Structure 1
Amino acid sequence: MTTPETSTARPLADGAAALSERDRAVLAAVDAGFDRAVEDLKALVRIPSVSWDAYDPAHVQASAEAVQRLAEGTGVFERVTIERAPIGDTDALGQPAVLAVRAPKAGKPSILLYAHHDVQPWGDEALWRTPPFEPTEVDGRLFGRGASDDKAGVIAHIAAVRALAEVVDPELGIALFIEGEEEHGSRSFQRFLELHADTLRADVIVVADSDNWSVDTPSLTVALRGNVAFNVRVSTLGHASHSGMVGGLVPDAMLAFARLAASFWHEDGSVAVEGLTEAELDVPEQTEAHVREEAAVLDGVELIGSGPLLSRVWAKPSVTLTGIDAPSVADASNTILPTVRFRISTRIAPGQSAEDAFAALDRHIRAHAPFGAHVEYDSIDLGDPFLVDASGWGATEAKRAMADAWGAEPVEAGIGGSIPFIADLVAQFPESQILVTGVEDPATMAHSPNESQHLDVLRRAIGAEALLLARAGDRSA
């Protein structure tokens, strides 16, 4: 598949040493197998594997079975199974995950490769330029739900392992863990790690679920914000009343909500919740024009917050209200509302625990609930932030592999989003080096209509991972 945007030329990064014959053969195997990798990705995208409770779980099972066949087809793994783990301390089981393992030989290290095969709901199909589950190539990008997040991550692992096996008989240990419910909160993730700890324990863990700096420059993600999300019910009355009879006398819940909501931010849009902390991170420069274009900010709308632009999303907290349960405009009547329910999504800076951040939000809400309004919480989701130590051999080899496969030096980047389960990996495997990589780019539009995967980014990501695996096999554990 050679187009102007998917050229197989691989220029070396400035200052990079010439590749060994083995490494050149690995990259050649990646290129030779790329058409097959894209067809495998298309087949996965056609499966609507939404893991949310309201959607058909048969599709997630079908997706797991498709990934299982891909893992078996590499010929590398000694065992490939579909596993489900309990959700917390309940009898309910999480969605199916694929687990494949190959034990290390001759004292070589082991690597765990993580991605997820479930996807977000597709939303309003009318907003898609192409059908969400019919993968469609347009100008070097593959469009479809999950085409990037994170079925391209799955394929990056599969194709890298394939390419490695075509060149050498790998002696390093390789475990493949393809989760089935990351988009639904990884509810059984912690128990899965506990149940399969011996299989999953590794010197290096590669999480292929992040972004790249651009379509030409790779990134190693070294900082992720955590998240605190929960529903808040604000109540002021025991029942609804006629707005003409008591309006102006009793406080309605919508008024209380509006006053409370406004308290979360300063005038410049920065977070006004006492107790939410900031991190000290060095950030590269970014232009306002780039941010406005990437985020599709409308003309005349100002950016919010203060300080360097990237520090606002890498190193500072944010508060977003992502939903509200209240009558729609079409159903609005002249009624004083007794209760309003909304969801708050807070991103927290590296260095603060999710529990501490939730406590700060709780204090703020109770202190700012106006007119003595009652507040209650439900559906609380907590995820700790992540700050990687990039000094280990795994990060060094990953950055060298990126430079050689992309022909550009990688950026150590922060991400404003969250991957909460990484805290579980750290807790379960404190000695492992965790590398957060990915196949996305700024135009991917993950979670949105018209999600897409840049195909040359995918090819380079496969090449970088294949080189990392090959070079890890040169080391002793």
Structure 2
Amino acid sequence: MSTQSTPAAAGTQSIAERVAAMMPRARTELAELVAFRSVADFEQFPRDESEAAAEWVASALRAEGFQDVALLDTPDGTQSVYGVLPGPEGAPTVLLYAHYDVQPPLDEEAWTTPPFELTERNGRWYGRGAADCKGGVIMHLLALRALKADGGVPVTVKVIAEGSEEQGTGGLEQYAEQHPELLRADTIVIGDTGNFRVGLPTVTSTLRGMTLVRVQVDTLEGNLHSGQFGGAAPDALAALVRMLDSLRAEDGSTVVDGLTEGPAWEGLQYAEEDFRRDAKVLDGVELIGSGTVADRVWARPAVTVLGIDCPPVVGATPSVQAGARALVSLRVPPGVDAAEANELLMAHLERHTPWGARVRVEQAGQGQPFSADTASPAYAAMAEALRVAYPGEEMQYAGQGGSIPLCSTLAALYPEAEILLIGLSEPEAQIHAVNESVSPEELERLSVAEALFLRGYAKGH
């Protein structure tokens, strides 16, 4: 940080020093939060783990002087944590968002260290949720603590920590619609995205939306011996494979009847060699789709088969399958309505069902895409804050292929609010995969940036 003797430089240096001094506490707290197996799939993970994580967040807010701290019972059966920290009279209100629920750990044996035990290795902190998004909760706390220790928080702060973001079940969105004044703010900071690269300050200006469907195919009353009946008996698994294959063009591009691609991406580009490295694509394996990589991952629809219920290879019998099931995700870019895309996807799968097989397609989750107004005053304040927190770098704009359904809900409820997306999920974090991690340097710098943003935004409001 600059050591110039101006009041602004002195304030900046003080914030940076305070955050740096708090990092050991931040690591301890992140370890406590990561230890909760807070996956909001209560058929597979204990509900009390998520409830304990929610209470941890609520206790942390109370300790920082937040008022009206509450565990909100949302319609999907989960809890979101809410609290308000009043600022000076007439100050603007800023909503800080993160989520404490996490993705399942997948194959726990594939983790180098236990997924729910924060472990330091090669300068990074490993654990499920370390970046996505329990680290975001800690980032907000660090920023607020630094401001409190350096003269006070100059804005009214609302915090909302969601409990089911990863499940896409829409509990908080529904709650917000039922209580439209609860999350009202002048500016909203979503702490659930990430820099394009470690050390390159990036705000996410667009998010793809998502629709999620379950597909059940049935052809027989029960499995049959493949030697006795195979060749004539309709195989449900084979029918499902054909249906899923219809969602891809020859080059791997997504094909859903009636769904348009959308415009090309105009912003930060994603070099193919960088993408191959980030995605860990095997040597000799081609990328799928056409256009620039940025087009493909930020500005076009993308279908993914998330899972198939079928017999595993180990223990399989020589049988024609009577039924098969799949879970299919479709990401849609800004400009495409997720509900319309859902209808097109369901119709496509039904239309491409072979052999008269019985098919049932049902919606399992949905979230609308989002596009931010990057010309707003809040973006100018964030640009300055990031410029200071990352010396020598300028704020970049990128898209994100993932979805944060709450963004579209907040944009619809509060059309005058400015929405910014930052966070800790840069490519090395490997969110949603095994060995998820967070860079403590990114946590420190982004906490400094958020504190400076809140101070700068208050001055300019």
Which band: TM-score by shorter chain?
A: over 0.9
Q: Is the 8 A contact 1:186 1:421 kept in 2?
A: no
SS in 2 for 1:63: helix
- The alignment status of 1:71 with 2:61, answered yes or no, reads yes
| 8 Å contact kept, 2:40–2:47 | yes
Matched, 1:350 2:334: yes
Which deviates the most, 296-305 or 194-203? 194-203
**Equivalences for 1:396-411 in 2 at 5 Å?**
396-407=380-391, 408-411=393-396
How far apart are 1:227 and its partner, in Å? Answer: 0.8
Report deviation, 1:453: 0.5
Aligned to 1:247: 230
TM-score (normalizing by structure 1): 0.91
- Cα deviation per residue 1:337-357 (whole Å; 9 max; x = unaligned)? 222111111111211011111
Ranges in structure 2 where 5+ consecutive residues have no aligned partner? none
Matching of residues 70-469 of structure 1 within 5 Å: 70-75=60-65, 77-87=66-76, 94-194=77-177, 196-280=179-263, 281-407=265-391, 408-469=393-454
Distance 2:174 2:402 in 1: 24
In the alignment, the residues of structure 1 paired with residue 454 and residue 167 of structure 2 have an alpha-carbon distance, to the nearest angstrom, of 30
Q: Is the 8 A contact 1:109 1:475 kept in 2?
A: no
Q: CA deviation at 1:424?
A: 1.6
Q: Is the 2:252–2:289 Cα contact (8 Å) retained in structure 1?
A: yes
Question: CA shift at 1:80, angstroms?
Answer: 2.4
Distance 2:237 2:153 in 1: 62
User: How far off is 1:234 after superposition?
Assistant: 1.6
CA–CA distance in 2 between the matches of 1:432 and 1:326? 47
Query: Secondary structure of the equivalent of 2:157?
Result: strand
Matches of 2:353 and 2:274, distance apart in 1: 38
Contact 2:2 2:9 in 1 (8 A): no
Q: CA deviation at 1:37?
A: 1.8
Partner of 1:7: none
**Judging changes above 3 Å, is the alpha-carbon distance between structure 1 residues 403 and 236 closer, same or farther for their aligned structure 2 residues?**
same
Distance in 1, matches of 2:26 and 2:368, equals: 34
Distance across 2 between alignment mates of 1:11 and 1:308: 38
Q: Distance in 2 between matches of 1:184 and 1:258?
A: 25
Measure how far apart 1:186 and its partner are.
Answer: 4.6
Matching residue of 1:56: 46
The one-letter amino acid of 1:354's match is A
Which amino acid is the alignment partner of residue 25 of structure 1? S
Alignment CA distance shift 1:473-1:284 (3 Å) = closer
Whether the 8 Å contact between 1:220 and 1:436 is mirrored in structure 2 is yes
Q: Secondary structure at the match of 1:33?
A: helix
Once residues 348 and 79 of structure 2 are traced to their aligned partners in structure 1, the CA distance between those partners, rounded to angstroms, is: 39
How far has the Cα of 1:36 moved from its partner?
A: 1.9
2:144–2:153: 8 Å Cα contact kept in structure 1? no
Corresponding residue for residue 13 of structure 2: 24
Q: CA deviation at 1:160?
A: 0.4
DSSP-derived class of the 2:303 partner: strand
d(CA) in 1 for partners of 2:424, 2:150: 23
CA distance in structure 2 between the aligned counterparts of 1:444 and 1:367, rounded to whole angstroms: 39
Q: CA deviation at 1:162?
A: 0.6
SS in 2 for 1:269: coil
Q: Secondary structure at the match of 1:377?
A: strand
CA distance in 2, matches of 1:296, 1:216: 20
CA distance in 2, matches of 1:412, 1:284: 6
Q: Which shifted more, 458-467 or 276-285?
A: 276-285
Moved over 6 A (4+): none
Uncovered stretches (5+) of structure 1, i.e. residues with no partner: 1-9, 88-93
Once the 2 structures are TM-superposed, how far is the Cα of residue 169 of structure 1 from its aligned partner?
Answer: 2.7
The 1:18/1:165 distance shift into structure 2, 3 A limit, reads closer
The one-letter code sitting in structure 2 at the alignment partner of 1:454 is: S
Corresponding residue of 1:40: 29
Q: Distance in 1 between matches of 2:243 and 2:317?
A: 23
Q: Which amino acid aligns with 2:155?
A: L
Determine if contact 1:23/1:470 at 8 Å carries over to the other structure.
no
Change (3 A) 1:418 1:58: same
Partner Cα separation in structure 1 for residue 163 and residue 269 of structure 2: 37
Q: Matches of 1:295 and 1:21 in 2, distance apart?
A: 41
> Is the CA contact (8 Å cut-off) linking 1:385 and 1:423 kept in structure 2?
yes
Measured in 2, the distance between the counterparts of 1:211 and 1:305 equals: 24
Post-superposition shift, 1:255? 2.2
After superposition, give the CA deviation of every residue in 1:175-230 in whole Å (9 maximum; x if it has no partner): 01111222222542123314543342100011100121111101100011111111
Query: For 2:224 and 2:240, how far apart are their aligned partners in 1?
Result: 17
CA contact (8 A) 2:223 2:322 kept: yes
Distance in 2 (CA, whole Å) between partners of 1:360 and 1:419 is 21
Q: 1:81, 1:99 within 8 Å by CA — same for their partners in 2?
A: yes
The alpha-carbon deviation at position 402 of structure 1 amounts to 1.2
Distance 1:186 1:324, change over 3 A: closer
Q: CA deviation at 1:272?
A: 2.1
Q: What TM-score results when the alignment is normalised by the length of structure 2? A: 0.94
CA distance in 1, matches of 2:413, 2:270: 36
| Distance of 1:11 and 1:363 partners within structure 2 | 59
Q: How far, CA to CA, are the matches of 2:399 and 2:10 in structure 1?
A: 34
Counterpart AA for 1:173 = T
Stretch deviating more after TM superposition (279-288 or 226-235): 279-288
